[in-house]
Amino acid sequence: MELQPIFIQLLALALFAIGIMVAISRRNLFFVLMGIELALNAVNLSFVGFAKTLPDTMSVAGQIIPLFSIAIAAAEACVGFAMVIFIFRNRESIDADTYSDMRG
């Protein structure tokens, strides 16, 4: 039995599900951001897996777009952690439940 593209898609699906679970169900802000990173990774893996099912020049786009996606994830992590530092200075807490009054 050889490696099938569906295995890659199922792995990406499982990773995405775990990432969403981490991002929504954990209370700690670091885990929320790490869950978002996991979900972004899963999407990149899905891109590459689907690109490998396409014929020759059509398969290039699916291998270039994840590069941009990784760079955008880097920008997102940069701003996200700066926001965590900013919020932590105001509240002295990284528990997401303490930021529930929408006043900043």
Partner 1 sequence: MLALIYFIILAVITLGAAACVLLSRHPLYGGLSLIVSMVSLAGIYGLIGSPFLGVVQVMVYAGAIMMLVTFVIMVLNGARDSKTPMFDKVSLFIIPAVIVLAGLVGFALVRSPLAFDTTTLRGSVALTSKTLFDVAQTGPGYFVLFEILGLLLLSAMVAAVLLAKKRLGSVESENMEDKH
Site for partner 1 in 72-101 (CB under 8 A): 72-79, 81-86, 88-89, 93-95, 97
Residue 102: which region, alpha, beta or left (left: phi > 0; alpha: psi -120 to 50)? left
Q: How far apart are CA 25 and CA 6, in angstroms?
A: 28
| 104 scored as a contact of partner 1 (CB under 8 A) | no
Q: Is 43 in the site for partner 1 (CB under 8 A)?
A: no
Task: Scan residues 19-38 and list those touching partner 1 (CB under 8 A).
Answer: 19-22, 24-28, 30-31, 33-35, 37-38
